[in-house]
Amino acid sequence: MMRAAYRGTMQVVAAACTVASGVPGAPPRWRAAADRLGRLDPTAQAMAASAPAVWVHAASVGELNAVRPLIAELRERLVGRVIVVSTLTRSGLALARTMPEAHLALLFPLDARGPVEAVLERFRLEAFLFTETEIWPLWLERLRQEQVPSIMVSGRVSARTARRARWLRPLYRAALAEVTCCMQGDDDARRIVELGADPRRVQVAGSLKFDAGGGEAAAEVERFARAVNAPAQPLVVAGSTHDGEEAIILDVYRRLSLGHRDVALLLAPRHLERLDAVEAVVRATGLPMVRFGALVADGAAGRAERPLVVLLDRMGLLAQCYRLGAVAFVGGSLVPVGGHNVLEPARAGVPVLVGPHTENAGDVVERLIAAGGALRVTSPDTLALALDHLLAEPGAASTMGQRGRAIAQRGQGALERHLKIITARLSAARFARGGLEE
């Protein structure tokens, strides 16, 4: 009954998107829905037909950055395969299209019969890997019918997600029946089994975010460092912020700059489509502001004066920018979003501040706090106090950053554990199908 209801609902959604995408004057979001209806352009069709494929799906930019080392290893090891990378967001798609690890980047199709079959009939899939809790029942069922192994990587199921998904357990049980689940921790493993995964197929492999690195600094980041004279002069990096957080951070920065006149603020909204709205919030404060792209443009002159708010309008550079920070605040945590990746600033040796809402990264956050590598703030005033202390006491900030880096380094090894599980699963699948040529 539930499976039929889900299928019917998704068919209606797909039909509505088909109609809406063709309506003259429709909002861009409606028109963009056509890209999730399983329609591949000629270049993508040719790529799909050229060789067997391994498909890796990550919801958005953060998950995509975390899984990049795994994608690179897969491309190196699985010679002769097309590496397909999909995501759900425009910003994620833009990043995927710049990744040398991927042969083809797509938006993931709607989980309805038409889009799913339209895409899958074009590919000779050898494996499907998906991050965290990107469970799409119809897609996974279709892959099971085709005997294509599905593997959840860096799997995570928060307590909140588990509570919300309980009523979908029959749907998830069917979807997860033959999925190999590489979970981040013991709690995640227990919860995915409660949602219907086969315990024999569930293993704890750790979080790929521990092994993800920012790579060498991009030229734009180097120019930005020169422009704001970081890290010689202090820079506060507020990363992955959401609506409601920027106003708080800006007010705190305004107060902070009265006592710390050499500090600058890098403000990095989680979603780039909010840039104009965030810029309006900054302008309303009267604080001097410049977009990152304009600041680092060729020919931009001189070092920027303080106070200064820099609005990060480039994708995929936040992890590198954290390295320049004196302190980092990780957003999605002052508002009830659940928090974001705290390992990027911790790995950079930068002290980390988070708000009260960190369910999405709860275990890692608690480990950082317990080790003295992160602090939890509960209000604008406590955020201001923490920033003031860390800027006034660089020795304390350095010690805090070193402790956070130690935790990040201690969690490494997840990539190799994932690769062993994936290799074993793909070997078993080849044997079950009668043996395919490597």
The residues annotated as belonging to the active site are 63
| Distance separating alpha carbons of residues 435 and 438, to the nearest angstrom | 9
Burial zone of 163 (CB within 10 Å; 0-12 exposed, 13-18 middle, 19+ buried): exposed
| Distance separating alpha carbons of residues 268 and 62, to the nearest angstrom | 13
- Distances in Å between the Cα of 384 and the Cα atoms of 63, 164, 248, 358 are 30, 34, 10, 19
Sign of CA dihedral 364, 369, 370, 373: positive
